[in-house]
Structure 1
């Protein structure tokens, strides 16, 4: 499958290199002639010097053959225009835009871009997920993040300590999947009694995560 990338900066270049080394047919459009020379000398791919929002340049880069179009420039507005041209004018099946300002992600998606990627947003989300809030860590699972992995260590003040799992009242949309106690992993059953110091892991639908947190650590 042919993948066309506009923007030959660090993001576009390493993406092109990764895809090329994985055996894909890749093309790059870049406005900086020096960057074009660097990419062309390093990779045996099609490199076009020009504006990725110019129809003639896009045609020169064989956009009609592209299965994927990736706009990876440092300008959100340029990435949007390029993706709209690729989608609406050339009927490229899938368009992906790099988004430098996470606030623009929803806008680009509403305006027809199939997928957006924000490195800033990804890093911020990773930090947020790794920082314990009320001693509870959450990690979104699957692409849309509808299911979360919830992890917390029970303190002596937790309302579930010394209670059996069946008495805890875990929401139906959540399930306790493991308890780590003294270095051993337990698979909780209804009669499993939770203890202070237990590391409890659960799966929860995103909208029910606050309720589960309230049950495990108590209301603040």
Structure 2
């Protein structure tokens, strides 16, 4: 899947590198080409110099094929405009923007643009918002190192038994939510369309589990 990141500062470069490492196609936009030095040397994505809300620049970055867009430059106004262009002009569904002003953030959340403020502005949370699996890490126990992940599996997992899924990915399923109702006993059942699965796994394996469930079986390696 393709992602566009506007802003190659500390967080933007971290987000871009993390997506690139997971095998996604990534394009990074920054008005200052020197900012691309923050990207790792082995970064395989595009580096595009330009204004992040310029339509021609966005098209060059592949916005028309983008699954997600992150506007994480240093300016609220720039991020707001870029996020609106990505969502309203190009129809990108998964858009997240760094907006420090809480009043603005509330407005744009209502318009469907996920916002990250000063206190919560981390690369991990930005990745949470735009990854295709719609996953969230709900809790991590500091003593055991076990994390609980809320995730909607890729459609390719529909019909696969939960027993096979847990064995294949070496995870435990705490429960699922199906048609708005929690189901505690999934033994003998299979994944159905729109199931939301609550998975328990070691903290060190969260990224791998999310990556696997966000892709069709056979594509997770």
Structure whose CA Rg is larger: 1
Determine the structure 1 residue equivalent to 2:29.
29
Shift of 1:101: 3.3
Could you give the per-residue CA deviations for residues 145-196 of structure 1, whole angstroms, max 9, x where no partner exists? 9xxxxxxxxxxxxxxxxxxxxxxxxxxxxxxxxxxxxxxxxxxxxxxxxxxx
Deviation at 1:18, TM superposition (A): 1.2
Matched with 2:101 is 101
Take 1:79 and 1:6, find their aligned partners in 2: how far apart are those partners? 8
Q: Is the 8 A contact 2:96 2:116 kept in 1?
A: yes
How many residues align? The count is 125
| Long gaps (5+) in structure 1 | 124-141, 146-220
Cα separation, partners in 2 of 1:59 and 1:122, compared to 1, 3 Å: closer
Q: Which position in structure 1 is the counterpart of 2:115?
A: 116
The separation in 2 between residues aligned to 1:52 and 1:84, in whole angstroms, is: 11
Q: How far apart are the structure 2 equivalents of 1:122 and 1:38?
A: 18
- Mark the CA change 1:121 to 1:37 in structure 2 (over 3 Å): closer, same or farther: closer
Superposition TM-score, scaled by structure 2 size: 0.51
Once residues 84 and 14 of structure 1 are traced to their aligned partners in structure 2, the CA distance between those partners, rounded to angstroms, is 23
Number of the residue aligned with 1:69:
69
Shift of 1:44: 1.1
Q: CA deviation at 1:119?
A: 3.6
Give the match for residue 159 of structure 1.
Answer: none
Are 1:29 and 1:47, in contact at CA under 8 Å, matched by a contact in 2? yes
Q: Assess if the C-alpha contact under 8 Å between 2:98 and 2:116 holds in 1.
A: yes
Structure 2 residue runs without a partner (length 5+): 123-134, 139-221
Q: Distance in 2 between matches of 1:11 and 1:35?
A: 12
Q: Matches of residues 168-187 of structure 1 in structure 2 within 5 Å?
A: none
CA RMSD of aligned residues (A): 2.5
The answer to whether the 8 A contact 1:52-1:58 is kept is: yes
